[in-house]
Amino acid sequence: MFKIIWKKEYNTNVREIDEQHQHLVHLINVLLAERAKGESPAALKKILVEIIDYTKYHFKTEEEHMVRHQYEHLEEHKANHRTLVDQIVALLNELKGGKSLSSEDLLTILRNWLINHIEKEDLKYSMFLGQAKRVIS
Ligand SMILES: [Fe+2]
């Protein structure tokens, strides 16, 4: 079964952010597992709502962290977060509209959506902090 495995390359080395990223990956894996088991659209919607809520909470944490550390690309990163939330909310609306969640939709969530963001944008922030090795809170 398709599952995201956490890789060390995803680490920003900011403990709180990494823990939240891992929880998000866990939630997405739950969604994948439920879909594979053939769970009802209602069950999938429920987990997608949980993913959206946790994502919003997580982005808020990241943005607060970035404000504290005066991140130079804060506005750009925030805009990026807004786009990501819009994309997943659009996915939820499609589900609500009766569309089933295709493998392609799920791949969008996995690759383009979360992992790309973590690997590119969040890592840029980690580099800005100079956190290549050190773990901070
Ligand atoms: Fe981010």
CATH classification at residue 21: 1.20.120.50
Examine residue 118 and state whether it is found in any structural domain, yes or no. Answer: yes
pTM: 0.88
Q: What is the pLDDT of residue 23?
A: 96
Q: How many angstroms is it from 39 CA to the middle of ligand 1? A: 30
Within 8 A by CB and 6+ apart from 115, the residues are 4, 10
Examine residue 135 and state whether it is found in any structural domain, yes or no. Answer: no
Q: What is the pLDDT of residue 105?
A: 76
Examine residue 69 and state whether it is found in any structural domain, yes or no. Answer: yes
Examine residue 107 and state whether it is found in any structural domain, yes or no. Answer: yes
Q: How many angstroms is it from 104 CA to the middle of ligand 1? A: 23
- Number of domains within the chain: 1
Average pLDDT, the chain: 88
Examine residue 78 and state whether it is found in any structural domain, yes or no. Answer: yes
Examine residue 34 and state whether it is found in any structural domain, yes or no. Answer: yes
Examine residue 80 and state whether it is found in any structural domain, yes or no. Answer: yes
Average pLDDT over residues 14-23: 95
Domain extent at residue 43: 9-129
Examine residue 56 and state whether it is found in any structural domain, yes or no. Answer: yes
| Ligand 1 ion: Cβ-proximal residues, 5 Å cutoff | 62, 122
Q: How many angstroms is it from 77 CA to the middle of ligand 1? A: 6
Q: How many angstroms is it from 90 CA to the middle of ligand 1? A: 19
Q: How many angstroms is it from 59 CA to the middle of ligand 1? A: 6
